[in-house]
Amino acid sequence: MSHDFHMPSREEILGGTSRPLPARLRTLCVVLATFGVVVFAIGLFVAPDRAWRSLLFNWLFFTSVSSAGVMFVAVQRITTARWSRSVIRFLEGYVAFLPVAFGLLLLIFLGRSHIFPWTIAAPEIAEKRTYLNPLFLIPRDIIIFGIITGLSLWYIYTTVRLDVGLSGEGGAKWARRIRERMRRGFGEERREIHSTHSLQGRLAVFLAFAFAFGWIVLSWDLSMSLDLHFQSTMYGWWFFMGGWVAALASFTILTIAWRRYLDRYDLITEKHFHDLGKLCFAFTAFWGYLTFGQYLVIWYGNMGEETHWMRLRLIAPWMKLTLVGVAFMFSPFFGLMGKTAKLFLPTMTLFAACTLIGLWIHRYIEVYPSLYYGTKDIPFSIWEIGVAAGLLGAWGFCYMAFMDAFPRMRVVLMTSPYRDEVQVPVNAETMEPLPAHE
């Protein structure tokens, strides 16, 4: 997916992509975040169970999407991709929410008695009692998500440092000291490109293992364990691939918005949207494969400890919402089959939005039926909407802060005469190409 086109100079790209974001957008995010905090605070006194459970399912949505977005950035290094250099920074901004998510995870554990059944009733199976022991579960989840967050921040730091180190001072004031630290000890351009590429190769692999293993465990502990009798070996893959698809969908929407806002139709081309459309289509199909695969095995096995989880979501009052969520999630498979729908941005935006809405509904369906299995009406009101608005505002504020603080494109890897040398590993001291076996 390599794209060849005329590349402006480094100064032209930096100057042409530095337009400040509208203050009204930041104000909107602050209003949404404040509204969410107020609703959650009131809910702690009026409906504490609903407030805490709403925080959990919204946390699972926003955090899994943000983490998957950073993982996709790392995959670009693992595959030594070049097609995304002008747009991938729009996805790197997702990392800014992860420290906030880490703090919210600690908050969720403070309200665990309102969320998790294993804090009230011990599981009947001895192995589950050991696994779901809060003294074992809470520390491991904090450590696992801390590792994911730390590696994500470190990886994005290295990508941004390369651009900051070779660019003039500019960006939001809050990040001035970070930019100064990035420039400290910055060496010659060619050597920095190769050393950064080498470091990122190791970080990306470690992050991939941490992401896959970590989110499998987190999905078991924070989602699947809400039903003490249910287990599925495919649940973790199903969970984090949902976040992966939604990250690609949101990335597509943001890329469309950034191209229009920055007016850089020369750097963000139709080929990028064609590639993003193909990725959305392919991983939607993979998510559907995991969904049907998990359902088929449970249906065919017909074991009570497994079938009740699926059956609960396919009877009243949850069935319609479950089917709506699946339909939204899987609609890009049919809508993005052809090239035209990928290049016609209104349809691309529509199907990307369907994925995001579908995953949000899906996270709700993962959590709430297990906790309200005897209800006649779906518990959905101001608590769920308010907390969702609050996290959306917090996510947007973090994202805009990142994008205003650092160069918005990978200008060095777009303009450096040494940019494609990274395809061939070199000796860090002599800068000579290494033999293939090394």
Confidence class of residue 197 from pLDDT cuts 50, 70 and 90?
very high
Angle made by CA atoms 384, 255, 195, in degrees to the nearest 5: 110
pLDDT digits (tens, 9 = 90+) for 318-342: 999 999 999 999 999 999 999 999 9
Report pLDDT digits (tens) over 225-270: 999 999 999 999 999 999 999 999 999 999 999 999 999 999 999 9
Give the mean model confidence (pLDDT) for residues 203-226. 97
* SS3 label, residue 122: coil
Q: In this model, does residue 435 exceed pLDDT 70?
A: no
Distance of alpha carbon 218 from alpha carbon 243, whole angstroms? 13
Give 426's DSSP letter: B
Strand pairing partners for 433? 426
In this prediction, residue 437 carries a pLDDT of 42
Q: Which amino acid is at 39?
A: V
Per the prediction, the chain carries an average pLDDT of 94
pTM: 0.95
Q: Which two tokens stand for residue 60?
A: 């699972």
Q: Which run of H or of E encompasses 346?
A: helix 345-371
The percentage of residues in the chain with a pLDDT greater than 90, rounded to a whole number, is 86
pLDDT at 3 over 50: no
Distance CA 365, CA 127 (A): 26
The pair phi, psi for residue 284, each rounded to 5°, is -65, -40
* pLDDT at residue 419 in the model: 86
Distances (CA, A) of 28 to 22, 35, 256: 10, 10, 20
Q: Token pair of 71, please?
A: 């993982």
Nearest partner of 118 among 107, 129, 126, judged by Cα: 129
Q: DSSP string covering 373-417, please? A: TT-SS---SHHHHHHHHHHHHHHHHHHHHHHHHS-SS-HHHHH-T
For residue 122, pLDDT over 90 is answered with no
Which residues have CB under 8 Å from 130's CB, separation 6+? 136
pLDDT of 89 strictly over 50:
yes
Question: pLDDT band for position 210 (50/70/90)?
Answer: very high
Q: How confident is the model at residue 298 (pLDDT cuts 50, 70, 90)?
A: very high
Average pLDDT over residues 127-153: 96
Structure tokens belonging to residue 148:
């994911």
Note the pLDDT tens digit of each residue in 384-425.
999 999 999 999 999 999 999 999 999 999 999 988 888 777
Euclidean distance between CA atoms 422 and 107, whole angstroms: 43
d(CA 187, CA 429): 13
Given a cut of 70, whether residue 19 has pLDDT beyond it is yes
Output b/e per residue, 57-89; b: 16+ Cβ within 10 A: bbbbbbbbbbbbbbbbbbbbbeeeebbbbbbbb
Q: What pLDDT is stored for residue 428 in this prediction?
A: 63
pLDDT band at 6 (very low <50, low <70, confident <90, very high): low
Q: How far apart are CA 38 and CA 45, in angstroms?
A: 11
| Higher-scoring residue by pLDDT: 277, 167 | 277
pLDDT number for residue 249? 98
For residue 433, the SS3 value is: strand
Q: Tell me the average pLDDT across 270-279.
A: 96
pLDDT of amino acid 110: 97
Residues 6+ apart with CB under 8 A from 30: 393, 397
Q: Is there a contact between 404 and 19 (Cβ–Cβ < 8 Å)?
A: no
Which tokens belong to 131?
């696994």
Question: How many DSSP H helices and E strands does the chain contain?
Answer: 17, 0
What pLDDT is stored for residue 329 in this prediction? 97
Which tokens belong to 37? 């905090």
Q: Is it the case that residue 431 has pLDDT exceeding 90?
A: no
Q: Which sequence spans correspond to the domains of the chain?
A: 41-416
pLDDT at position 438, please?
45
* Model pLDDT for residues 29-46, shown as the tens digit of each residue: 999 999 999 999 999 999
Taking a C-beta distance cutoff of 8 angstroms, is the pair 277, 349 a contact?
A: no
